[in-house]
């Protein structure tokens, strides 16, 4: 509703500030000054954003100011003669084409509705307090869960940072160790710098000892000096070998891996994508094939692209529990739509497929399903069916198939190693190599197979 204007013709362009219920008029500031002096016993209401809640008995539409004597059933509002006039002009005639009646015609209906609303409010008064209490408890649990998840995230990243720092410290110390073992270090250089003087001094001493060797009076001293020279030569030999070894060290090269920027950036990207927050962990809650750690969100996203949001899921078939014969399979799955097949092969590849039409017990029939796709949890890829192509095949000679290039299940598939994956040039798109679902191997044995049914919002 637009701003209410002053009721006085002379001030009709001025915004109304006050309303007098006794006079049933709207007033601007100028009018209010005179009105307050003339009618001191009248009640004046200051208009604000809630002024529309003040009931005056008169229409509040601009330029109407007529008594509310009619009721519009189409919009459930009171209206005046100007609201229902056939002439639509100057803001009049808004309810011309509506279902309009006199107030007396709606009296009984509104009275009955009032009784219903009283009953409704009484019911609310009984249940609302308990609902609010429950809401507070739910809110507290949500806050607790939120803080619990935050603590898990902080703990995980604290451990990551600690592990990265420890790894850095280890590699830095390993650099020192490797270089000290192979290359010249400061200690060897210092010893080698003193080596010529040491050799020269030992040589001179040796020559002097040789001249004095026949003096038996100092024989013990001479022999002691000989021992010192022998020890010096032993030390000189060690230093000399180290010098030669390090002079040949250019044949060795110590490097840090990964040494390519591309490899380092790939690892950084993995860290950037480490961890994820999700509300879909419940979907495969009973699975022994995949867990939340497998990060299967891409599968859920693909299913929800083809439907609404998943509301619930239930495990309808598990091969090791329910049996892997054709009868076992169809006793659990026949005619059930919106299902996903999860398979774990004997080389620990995890793959499967989704079909909206499901599997039908049939002699030999193919079914189209433009929503169908197969997927690999290892490649994190989805392979959709070609539009208009056969997606599913069911027959009595084998368990169902994601047809031509997808997944082929033999009779009693748990006891066989010739279940197979189709080649890349089939009915499903996106394969870069043959048998990609099972890491390039066509025939395989199934360790477990599960089928889940989805319900959508």
Token output for 33: 């000054």
- SS3 (DSSP) at 65: coil
For position 204, what pLDDT does the model report?
A: 83
Torsion angles phi and psi, residue 163, rounded to 5? -65, -40
Tell me, what's the pLDDT at 250? Answer: 58
Sequence-distant contacts of 189-197: CB under 8 A, at least 24 apart: 191/239, 192/239, 192/242, 192/243, 195/236, 195/239, 195/240
What DSSP character marks residue 86? S
φ, ψ for residue 191 (rounded to 5)? -65, -40
Question: Which candidate, 453, 342, 325, places its Cα nearest to that of 396?
Answer: 325
pLDDT of 54 = 66
Confirm if 27 and 17 have CB atoms less than 8 A apart. Answer: yes
Q: How many beta carbons lie within 10 A of that of residue 42, not counting itself? A: 12
- Name the nearest CA neighbour of 434 among 383, 388, 392: 383
Q: What is the pTM of this model?
A: 0.49
Using alpha carbons only, how large is the chain's radius of gyration in Å?
45
Task: List, run by run, the mean pLDDT of 10-residue segments along the chain (457 residues).
Answer: 77 86 84 85 72 69 81 94 87 90 95 93 86 89 91 93 94 86 65 77 81 78 84 82 69 78 88 75 86 82 92 94 94 95 96 95 91 94 95 89 90 92 91 93 95 93
Pair of tokens at residue 260: 């390519």
Which of the 8 DSSP states describes residue 54?
S
Query: Is 380 within 8 Å of 349 (Cβ atoms)?
Result: no
Taken as a whole, the chain contains a residue count of 457
The answer to whether the beta carbons of residues 67 and 55 sit under 8 Å apart is no
b/e per residue 241-252 (b: at least 16 CB within 10 A): ebbeebeeeeee
- Would you tell me how many other CB atoms lie within 10 Å of the CB of residue 422? 23
Q: Which residues contact 288 (CB under 8 A, 6 or more apart)?
A: 448, 450
What are the start-end ranges of the E strands in 250-318? Answer: 310-318
From CA 258, how far away is CA 268, in angstroms rounded? 12
């Amino acid at each position: 509703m637009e701003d209410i204007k002053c009721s006085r013709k002379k001030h009709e362009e001025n915004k109304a500030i006050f309303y007098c219920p006794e006079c049933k008029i709207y007033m601007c500031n100028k009018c209010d000054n005179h009105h307050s002096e003339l009618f001191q016993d009248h009640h004046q209401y200051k208009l604000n954003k809630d002024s529309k809640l003040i009931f005056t008995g008169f229409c509040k539409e601009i330029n109407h100011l007529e008594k509310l004597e009619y009721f519009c059933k189409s919009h459930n509002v009171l209206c005046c003669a100007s609201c229902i006039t056939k002439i639509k002009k100057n803001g009049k005639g808004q309810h011309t084409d509506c279902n309009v009646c006199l107030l007396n015609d709606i009296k009984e209906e509104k009275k009955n509705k009032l009784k219903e609303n009283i009953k409704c409010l009484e019911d609310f008064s009984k249940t609302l307090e308990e609902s609010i209490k429950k809401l507070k408890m739910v809110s507290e649990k949500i806050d607790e869960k939120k803080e619990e998840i935050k603590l898990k995230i902080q703990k995980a990243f604290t451990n990551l940072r600690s592990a990265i720092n420890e790894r850095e410290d280890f590699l830095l110390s390993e650099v020192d160790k490797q270089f000290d073992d192979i290359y010249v270090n400061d200690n060897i250089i210092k010893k080698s710098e003193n080596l010529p003087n040491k050799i020269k001094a030992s040589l001179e001493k040796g020559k002097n000892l040789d001249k004095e060797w026949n003096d038996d009076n100092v024989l013990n001293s001479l022999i002691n000096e000989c021992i010192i020279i022998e020890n010096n030569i032993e030390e000189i030999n060690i230093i000399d070998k180290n010098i030669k070894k390090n002079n040949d060290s250019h044949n060795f090269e110590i490097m840090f891996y990964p040494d390519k920027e591309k490899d380092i950036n790939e690892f950084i990207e993995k860290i950037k994508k480490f961890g994820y927050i999700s509300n879909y962990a419940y979907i495969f809650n009973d699975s022994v094939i995949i867990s939340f750690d497998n990060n299967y969100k891409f599968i859920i996203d693909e299913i929800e692209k083809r439907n609404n949001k998943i509301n619930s899921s239930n495990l309808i078939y598990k091969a090791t529990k329910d049996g892997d014969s054709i009868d076992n399979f169809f006793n659990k799955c026949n005619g059930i739509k919106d299902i996903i097949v999860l398979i774990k092969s004997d080389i620990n590849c995890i793959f499967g497929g989704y079909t909206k039409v499901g599997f039908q017990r049939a002699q030999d029939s193919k079914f189209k399903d433009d929503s169908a796709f197969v997927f690999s949890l290892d490649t994190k890829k989805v392979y959709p069916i070609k539009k208009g192509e056969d997606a599913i095949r069911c027959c009595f000679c084998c368990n169902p198939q994601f047809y031509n290039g997808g997944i082929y299940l033999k009779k009693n598939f748990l006891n066989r190693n010739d279940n197979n994956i189709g080649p890349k040039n089939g009915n499903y798109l996106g394969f870069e190599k043959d048998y990609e679902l099972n890491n390039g191997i066509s025939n395989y044995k199934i360790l477990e197979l599960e089928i889940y049914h989805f319900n959508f919002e």
